[in-house]
Amino acid sequence: AEGNPKSEQGATASERKKSSEEGGKCRILVVDDHDANLLMTQSMLHKTGRFQTEVAHDGVEAVKMASSGSYDLVLMDCNMPNMDGWCATEAIRGGDGPCKNVPVVALTANAMAGDMEYCLSRGMDDYIAKPITRVKLLEVVDRNLNVNKRASTS
């Protein structure tokens, strides 16, 4: 069911990769410790019909999923228990998993001067301040997916 944040986690990594290679939907890992934020973000993405999502509830889970799964983009909350989004991004970048070079977009309530620069300095590729609007989310997702496609074809 689309309202269940874990609804698409049943597919194996090879099935997900095959779907993506066959022109399937772009695969996005959404990381947030609040179920309401996960549901809202997934809903905005699913309504386009262009994206498949999986969720992680903290940085530890995100690093594990990114090291074994194939994603086109990671949307990463910054302030989470167990491991924050900045440390999770550094761990993903420092590993040798399939998501090492996948764009990571910060989703954060931090909207003060310098917050975007801090996220970028920690290895994130882009930044969205909460509350997130559908227009802003899709703009940033499309921008980062297009950058990723250009880099993989050159």
pLDDT by residue (tens digit) across 98-126? 999 999 999 988 777 789 999 999 999 99
75 and 105 Cβ atoms separated by less than 8 Å: yes
**Into how many domains does the chain fold?**
1
53 lies in some domain: yes
Per-residue pLDDT tens for 123-143?
999 999 989 999 999 999 999
Closest CA to 72 of 145, 154, 153, 151: 145
Q: What range does the domain containing 127 cover?
A: 26-145
Positive/negative CA dihedral, 53, 57, 60, 64: negative
CATH number, residue 96: 3.40.50.2300
The whole-model pTM stands at 0.81
16 lies in some domain: no
What pLDDT is recorded for position 32? Answer: 97
- Return mean pLDDT, the chain: 84
Whether 21 shows a pLDDT value over 50: the answer reads: no
CA distance 129 to 137: 10
Whether 66 shows a pLDDT value over 60: the answer reads: yes
Whether 4 shows a pLDDT value over 50: the answer reads: no
Q: Which residues pair with 126 in a beta bridge?
A: 105
11 lies in some domain: no
